[in-house]
Chains A and B, each alone.
Chain A
């Protein structure tokens, strides 16, 4: 295989991408060497097991992936607004909508939310780190290396082009030869390890490491949403793992699980994919619900209305999420009875979701709302998400779905729930907890600009798509020069660029706030409105989170603490704190497994075997590592706390 067979050639856009990737990958080492930051990067970040730093890395990577997926989206929108321009050819268009979907779901939405969980959940429950800090670092590196493996596909080897659902037989070896689909399989498989490990890790953390006195029904609602999400992850991700493994064996080792050739069942892929895929959409929406609940309660300045109903509706949503997968392929032809069963289970999900909506409204009712940036995102979420939810119920009616299926109506629906739900929540949560992560708030004025531009861009982009769908425009279509569709497509593209502009303002705000924002002096950053334990820590949060762990026996414990003038800090109770040591093994192990995956993508077995052996060797090394961590002395804690609290 020559170099020209591996690199993707013949596309000006891809050449430009190659040049920029080359420049960035030269610039980063040069800058690191120039500023002598290699040691700092390795000691403080690459080998860290601190949940807060890992969370920051998750969020940074997710923002990077949001940029990549967003560029894909803008390219698609340009093509659809000007179909005669010849901007993209059909192959390139197929690759772009595939990578857009995959990147946004797997490498943007989930890591962003997992990043927020990483930082906030231990702080909310009064824990000093995850239950398994080493595993947490491993999870991050498996996600990051999986994401990078997936992303290099567009310059090396060619991108996958069978849609983010990767339906067989199209994605099988016969119809999609070459490394493209392998990148999809191995990228998802590798990052899936991390997601599953995080699910277990957070579940154990929440169940076993809560502050003394804190019962499950005292937990903050975001922690509850995380716990429920972890259950879904632990039960749903193995299905994806198996499906991906079967398709990998099909493609690389010539089996026939999903090919008709030797009595395989192509439709089984759709079945397995959506058995994971539907729970997956709740994996990305339930934490979003948790974030909005926290923000709405904080800025409505009262306890969340119907806390217990909120928790139970999340649990019911989680159960139902495993019983509706067929609604993604009603048109496969499973027959009226099967479709009816899943149609009804689908509509049932609207009930607990409706309960949540009314609880948010009831929390807002007759409260003194403070219109901060996170609150704006949360308030915008409610009506926008309802538009997506109601059209979801329409799609859930099997008979009607035969009309809506695979049209832009569907595209508009899932963007309405995923953007108005998950993306709004990511922005809202990041702005809300930003002071906890970086010691300063984001600028409110720029934040409002970013919000309004993004909000209007979003509706202008996706609202017309409902009508395009009703006019019969199918999804994944690269030539749309049907005169009736053009005006709405152009409007939609304008909206997409609006969202892009909103994102740029948001990113500029990160830079602007870093330079100019006032540094936080107290831990309770939002005018003293914090209700849960994370606001009781000092800012910046010390690496051990809580010098003395508070006793909690109610919801929103920090409200009473403030009324009684207490803090979580009690100098007389100080004891040495046991903390985990930083380790290089997670990044090295995942780098080996990344190499193995890369070998499998190109079916270079020696490379794959070498990588696997390396990975297993690091695992063995890790099993004989008896480092139990270290103790932070009472004197050092006193010094840090006195400085942070200005005592």
Chain B
């Protein structure tokens, strides 16, 4: 709200552009690229970490010098990461744990099969 001397917040503009580019890269990796599925997943994970870094350092107050780091929302960041952990671990726990009603053996095998199918479908849409 208060007027600042800098009219264009360059940090925010660069951060905005970076986050858009990384989102597009992730979409490209999933839809268009010919990378193997494992690499697509690794690539998207790395992009996600970078994305979180961009948000924290270019938009939040991680680098704010005036307050001597006093405005860094450690509390909220902790809760955010805790919730993300609950989301991921909780989903894995409820969605995959205990679903083996007797047929233990082919669980892993089934999984691999899925991956291959994914791969081939990716190829089709790529062409």
Binding site for B on A (CB under 8 A): 231, 235, 239, 262-263, 265, 267-268, 271-272, 275, 322-323, 325-326, 333-338, 341-342, 626, 628
Choose one: A265, A271, A337; the contact of B98 (CB below 8 Å): A337
- Indicate whether A334 sits within 8 Å of B86 (C-beta atoms), given known contacts A262-B121, A263-B117, A628-B1: no
Beyond known contacts A271-B94, A275-B91: 18 more, CB 8 A cutoff: A239-B87, A262-B121, A263-B114, A263-B117, A268-B91, A268-B95, A275-B90, A322-B86, A325-B90, A334-B94, A334-B97, A335-B97, A335-B98, A336-B98, A337-B98, A626-B3, A628-B1, A628-B3
Q: Which residues of chain B have C-beta atoms less than 8 A from A628's C-beta?
A: 1-3
Q: Which residues of chain A have C-beta atoms less than 8 A from B118's C-beta?
A: 263
Binding site for A on B (CB under 8 A): 1-3, 79-80, 83, 86-87, 90-91, 93-95, 97-99, 101, 114, 117-118, 121
Q: Which residues of chain B have C-beta atoms less than 8 A from A337's C-beta?
A: 97-98
Which 3 pairs across A and B sit closest by C-beta, in order of nearness? A335-B98, A235-B83, A334-B94
Q: Which residues of chain A have C-beta atoms less than 8 A from B114's C-beta?
A: 263
Closest B residue to A203 by beta carbon equals: B76
Q: Which residues of chain A have C-beta atoms less than 8 A from B2's C-beta?
A: 628
Binding site of B, secondary structure by majority: helix, strand, loop or mixed? helix
- Indicate whether A338 sits within 8 Å of B98 (C-beta atoms), given known contacts A628-B1, A628-B3: yes
Q: Which residues of chain A have C-beta atoms less than 8 A from B101's C-beta?
A: 333
Binding site of A, secondary structure by majority: helix, strand, loop or mixed? helix
Closest B residue to A235 by beta carbon equals: B83
Nearest CB of A to B4, in Å:
10
Q: Which residues of chain B have C-beta atoms less than 8 A from A325's C-beta?
A: 90
Choose one: A263, A322, A333; the contact of B99 (CB below 8 Å): A333
Bound form: Cα–Cα A263–B99 in Å: 17
A-B contact pairs, 24 of them (CB 8 A): A231-B79, A235-B79, A239-B87, A267-B95, A268-B91, A271-B91, A271-B95, A275-B91, A322-B83, A323-B86, A323-B90, A325-B90, A326-B94, A334-B94, A334-B95, A334-B97, A335-B97, A335-B98, A337-B97, A338-B94, A338-B98, A341-B93, A628-B2, A628-B3
Q: Which residues of chain B have C-beta atoms less than 8 A from A336's C-beta?
A: 98
Bound form: Cα–Cα A399–B37 in Å: 40
Closest B residue to A337 by beta carbon equals: B98
> Are A335 and B90 touching (Cβ within 8 A)?
no
Nearest CB of B to A414, in Å:
21
Q: Which of A239, A333, A335 has the largest number of chain B CB atoms within 10 A? A: A335
> Are B121 and A335 touching (Cβ within 8 A)?
no
Closest A residue to B86 by beta carbon equals: A322
Closest B residue to A256 by beta carbon equals: B121
Bound form: Cα–Cα A322–B3 in Å: 40
Q: Which residues of chain A have C-beta atoms less than 8 A from B98's C-beta?
A: 334-338
Bound form: Cα–Cα A3–B80 in Å: 47
Bound form: Cα–Cα A336–B3 in Å: 60
Bound form: Cα–Cα A335–B121 in Å: 32
Closest B residue to A339 by beta carbon equals: B98
Nearest CB of B to A401, in Å:
15
Closest B residue to A242 by beta carbon equals: B87
Bound form: Cα–Cα A497–B95 in Å: 42
> Are A338 and B87 touching (Cβ within 8 A)?
no
Closest A residue to B115 by beta carbon equals: A263
Q: Which residues of chain B have C-beta atoms less than 8 A from A263's C-beta?
A: 114, 117-118
Bound form: Cα–Cα A239–B93 in Å: 17
Q: Which residues of chain B have C-beta atoms less than 8 A from A267's C-beta?
A: 95
- Indicate whether A338 sits within 8 Å of B83 (C-beta atoms), given known contacts A262-B121, A263-B114: no
Bound form: Cα–Cα A588–B1 in Å: 20
Bound form: Cα–Cα A190–B116 in Å: 38
Bound form: Cα–Cα A341–B97 in Å: 12
Bound form: Cα–Cα A628–B1 in Å: 6
Closest A residue to B98 by beta carbon equals: A335
Q: Which residues of chain B have C-beta atoms less than 8 A from A338's C-beta?
A: 93-94, 97-98
Bound form: Cα–Cα A626–B87 in Å: 40
> Are B99 and A334 touching (Cβ within 8 A)?
yes
Nearest CB of B to A365, in Å:
37
Bound form: Cα–Cα A267–B86 in Å: 18
Nearest CB of A to B93, in Å:
6
